[in-house]
């Protein structure tokens, strides 16, 4: 058998399948497949049975899958994947096929229903996501490594950030440094919002020229061994009016307050509430227009959410972001984001980047 953490995850999945009353479990979601087997290809079909795990891939991925996960039965399909899965289902005498209802499209579900007449399709949720929400020690090591790689890339970029560069120049430089630092790429399209563009919380980098005096929001992440980092820093080029310094100081205080609220046993919504209340006392709550944070792992946004919309109890080994922002339309925006590991007594930060606003 293969690496012990994959073995452990498969065993846990098989227990959870029993609890979900299914004797087969199907996924086509790349992060789920990677989590269960180590397969890094972007396309494949995984069938878990109580007797073992089968990975059905097309010819582009056969060699890769056999190399990456020799402990899994890799089957190369020609034509349509559903033929291979249907044979496995019939051979195993499975009756109830669980599938991830949030990941399978309506069309795919219809196709599978037609192709798998021997089983009843059972929509499931959180069978694997529920496992992924608390990271095991191997995953936490990968998250720490991703954070260090991201820090190195940002530090290499920030010394070269100058007026006259476009936002795209900055994003390209940062993404180049990510690769050089050991990342496989960026975890999402790098956000560089300067001046008034910073007031769009998720405005990706554009051709806008960065000017002296601009406040710049840089939200970036690396993808490292499948794991994502997520960090935002706000920097300013040159002297700033006292109002900007004041708003930034208040935001920084609110972000620190949020971090200090994070620990196992705490309600995720209560962290958002505390930060929102703090910004309210500063008269800034109306400019904080999104949730406080989210889980990070194999995907850039995953459970749990730190927001008013959902509530859950934080657990040790979860990785969450704390990212309040202040957005003044037409003027400027600011956000400070750290990703942290939830611990029994507090949190462990995954990045060490400074939070000074004005660049030296």
Chain contacts with Mn ion (rule: CB under 5 A): 230, 321
**Number of Cβ within a 10 Å radius of residue 106:** 7
Q: Which is nearer to Mn ion, 27 or 307 (CB)?
A: 307
For residue 346, give the DSSP letter.
Answer: S
Q: Which is nearer to Mn ion, 94 or 254 (CB)?
A: 254
The closest alpha carbon to 314, from 275, 277, 343, 355, belongs to 343
Report helix, strand or coil for 310: coil
Q: Which is nearer to Mn ion, 214 or 219 (CB)?
A: 219
Q: Which is nearer to Mn ion, 82 or 321 (CB)?
A: 321
Which residues contact residue 26 at a Cβ distance below 8 angstroms, ignoring those fewer than 6 apart? 45, 46, 47, 48, 85, 97, 98, 99, 112
Tell me the C-alpha distance between 305 and 313, whole Å: 10
- The CB-of-13 to Mn ion minimum distance in angstroms stands at 28
Beta bridge partners of 228: 223
- The CB-of-322 to Mn ion minimum distance in angstroms stands at 9
- The CB-of-337 to Mn ion minimum distance in angstroms stands at 5
Q: Which is nearer to Mn ion, 55 or 319 (CB)?
A: 319
- The CB-of-290 to Mn ion minimum distance in angstroms stands at 9
Q: Which is nearer to Mn ion, 100 or 299 (CB)?
A: 299
Burial class (CB in 10 A: 0-12, 13-18, 19+), 242: exposed
- The CB-of-147 to Mn ion minimum distance in angstroms stands at 13
- The CB-of-283 to Mn ion minimum distance in angstroms stands at 25
Q: DSSP alpha helices (H): ranges in the chain?
A: 4-19, 30-37, 62-68, 81-92, 106-115, 129-132, 137-158, 167-180, 242-261, 268-281
Query: Are the C-beta atoms of residues 278 and 253 closer than 8 Å to each other?
Result: yes
Residue with tokens 């400074």: 354
- The CB-of-280 to Mn ion minimum distance in angstroms stands at 22
Q: Which is nearer to Mn ion, 32 or 321 (CB)?
A: 321
Tell me the C-alpha distance between 197 and 176, whole Å: 23
**Number of Cβ within a 10 Å radius of residue 110:** 12
Residue with tokens 């929102």: 276
Tell me the C-alpha distance between 91 and 253, whole Å: 61
- The CB-of-208 to Mn ion minimum distance in angstroms stands at 22
Q: Which is nearer to Mn ion, 98 or 226 (CB)?
A: 226
For residue 125, give the DSSP letter.
Answer: -
């Amino acid at each position: 058998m293969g690496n012990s953490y994959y073995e452990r995850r498969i065993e846990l999945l098989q227990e959870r399948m029993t609890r979900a009353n299914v004797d087969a479990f199907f996924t086509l979601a790349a992060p789920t497949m990677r989590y269960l087997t180590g397969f890094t290809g972007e396309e494949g079909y995984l069938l878990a049975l109580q007797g073992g795990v089968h990975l059905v891939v097309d010819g582009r991925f056969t060699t890769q899958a056999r190399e990456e996960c020799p402990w899994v039965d890799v089957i190369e399909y020609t034509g349509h994947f559903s033929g291979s899965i249907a044979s496995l289902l019939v051979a195993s005498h499975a009756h109830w096929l669980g599938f991830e209802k949030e990941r399978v499209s309506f069309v795919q579900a219809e196709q599978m229903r037609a192709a798998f007449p021997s089983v009843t399709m059972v929509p499931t949720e959180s069978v694997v996501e529920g496992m992924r929400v608390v990271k095991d020690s191997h995953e936490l090591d990968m998250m720490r490594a991703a954070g260090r790689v991201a820090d190195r890339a940002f530090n290499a970029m920030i010394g070269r950030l100058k007026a006259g560069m476009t936002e795209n120049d900055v994003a390209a430089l940062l993404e180049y440094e990510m690769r050089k630092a050991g990342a496989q790429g960026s975890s999402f399209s790098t956000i560089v919002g300067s001046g008034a563009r910073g007031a769009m919380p998720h405005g990706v980098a554009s051709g806008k020229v960065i000017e002296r005096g601009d406040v710049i929001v840089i939200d970036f992440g690396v993808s490292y061994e499948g794991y994502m980092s997520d960090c935002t820093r706000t920097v300013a080029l040159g002297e700033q009016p006292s109002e900007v310094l004041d708003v930034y100081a208040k935001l920084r205080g609110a972000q620190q307050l949020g971090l200090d609220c994070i620990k196992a046993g705490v309600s995720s919504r209560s962290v958002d509430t505390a930060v929102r209340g703090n910004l309210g006392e500063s008269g800034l709550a109306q400019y904080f227009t999104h949730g406080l944070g989210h889980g990070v792992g194999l995907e850039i946004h995953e459970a749990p959410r730190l927001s008013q919309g959902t509530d859950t109890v934080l657990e040790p080994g979860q990785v969450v972001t704390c990212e309040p922002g202040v957005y003044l339309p037409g003027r400027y925006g600011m956000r400070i984001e750290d990703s942290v590991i939830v611990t029994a007594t507090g949190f462990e930060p995954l990045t060490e980047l400074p939070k000074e606003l004005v660049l030296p």
